[in-house]
């Protein structure tokens, strides 16, 4: 199924509500009729956008990873210093996670139920996003190919994504602090370590700069609707407390291991790949 779709408000709402339901019930525990009830649409109305749950899973992944990638591609030229770039990357990534908790939970399931063609498209998007982060790390003094191996850079990038990719399992602003505090801790821990000195880091200045850039509309692909948030609203919308909470393994669908636990090496989002 070709999914070169403009993400209008109708499709955005369908993907949001479908992700909410699938995050609660699991992929195999959700039927098309369940999705129709959850989204308040008829089956024929849903078929206008996707033919089955596999197509829906592809759409959630495609829109999600494209949004992450395009947002960073629009922000990257606005930063000069690699440390500023790294902070901006973490800031935009975590902000998207906070706004799309259910979608991101679904995206961690992997692509094993997708057709090889669609799985390949998602793999390409994730690879581009991963390489965007690796390129930032390469800009740091002493981190170029002449002093550090590509494998080491990849490991460090995986470690960074390991901190960022599982926020849906535990993070709640009311209990764990604001978005800025979360980003600051991830940035500080990755850049200087838990016990390292961070007195030279201007976290307030970096946070304000990243927030200002993300609140300014930037060019975005026709495939993905821009979802930049004004600074005065971003905290209130980071987490919808009326939604069912998905904290830790006690809320994990029992089928999830079957979706992500095939043999092979994991990619940056914890998915397994052959080889």
DSSP annotation string for 55-82: HHHHHHHHHHHHHHHHHHHHHGGG--SH
The answer to whether the beta carbons of residues 106 and 60 sit under 8 Å apart is yes
* 230 pLDDT above the threshold of 70: no
Contacts of 38 (CB under 8 A, 6+ apart): 17, 18, 20, 21
For the segment 135-178, what is each residue's pLDDT rounded down to a tens digit? 999 999 887 777 888 899 999 999 999 999 888 888 888 999 99
The answer to whether the beta carbons of residues 106 and 62 sit under 8 Å apart is no
Q: Which residue has the tokens 């979706």?
A: 259
Question: What is the residue extent of each domain of the chain?
Answer: 9-257
Q: Write the DSSP assignment of 137-190 as a string of letters.
A: HHTSTT-STTTS-HHHHHHHHHHHHHHHTTGGGT--HHHH--HHHHHHHHHHHH
Question: How would you classify the pairing of strands 272-273 and 265-266?
Answer: antiparallel
* 232 pLDDT above the threshold of 60: no
Q: Of the given ranges (107-121, 122-136, 198-212), which has the lowest mean pLDDT?
A: 198-212
What average pLDDT does this structure show over 91-97?
Answer: 93
Residue 212 has a pLDDT of 78
Cα separation, 20 vs 22, in Å, equals 6
Question: How many percent of the chain have pLDDT more than 70?
Answer: 73
SS3 122: helix
For residue 199, name the pLDDT band (cuts at 50, 70, 90): low
**Sign of the alpha-carbon torsion through 154, 156, 161, 166:** positive
For residue 197, name the pLDDT band (cuts at 50, 70, 90): low
Residue 210 has a pLDDT of 78
Task: Report pTM.
Answer: 0.73
Up-side HSE of residue 252: CA atoms within 13 Å toward CB? 16
Residue 267 has a pLDDT of 62
Topology of domain 9-257 in CATH is Tetracycline Repressor; domain 2 (1.10.357)
């Amino acid at each position: 199924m070709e999914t070169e779709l403009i993400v209008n408000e109708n499709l955005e709402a369908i993907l949001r509500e479908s992700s909410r339901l699938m995050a609660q019930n699991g992929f195999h525990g959700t039927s098309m009729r369940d999705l129709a009830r959850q989204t308040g649409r008829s089956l024929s109305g849903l078929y206008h956008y996707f033919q089955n749950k596999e197509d829906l899973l592809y759409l959630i992944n495609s829109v999600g990873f494209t949004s992450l990638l395009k947002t960073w591609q629009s922000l990257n030229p606005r930063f000069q210093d690699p440390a500023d770039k790294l902070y901006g990357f973490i800031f935009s990534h975590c902000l998207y996670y906070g706004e799309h908790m259910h979608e991101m939970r679904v995206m961690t399931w992997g692509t094993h139920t997708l057709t090889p063609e669609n799985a390949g498209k998602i793999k390409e998007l994730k690879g581009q996003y991963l390489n965007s982060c690796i390129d930032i790390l390469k800009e740091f003094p002493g981190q170029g190919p002449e002093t550090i191996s590509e494998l080491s850079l990849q490991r460090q990038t995986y470690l960074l994504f390991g901190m960022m990719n599982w926020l849906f399992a535990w993070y709640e602003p009311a209990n764990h602090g604001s978005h800025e505090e979360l980003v600051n801790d991830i940035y500080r821990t990755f850049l200087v370590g838990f016990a390292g000195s961070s007195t030279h880091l201007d976290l307030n200045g970096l946070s304000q700069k990243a927030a200002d850039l993300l609140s300014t509309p930037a060019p975005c692909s026709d495939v993905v609707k821009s979802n930049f948030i004004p600074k005065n609203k971003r905290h209130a919308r980071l987490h919808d407390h009326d939604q069912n909470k998905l904290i830790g393994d006690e809320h994990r669908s029992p089928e999830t291991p079957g979706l992500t636990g095939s043999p092979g090496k994991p990619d940056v989002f914890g998915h397994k790949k052959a080889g």
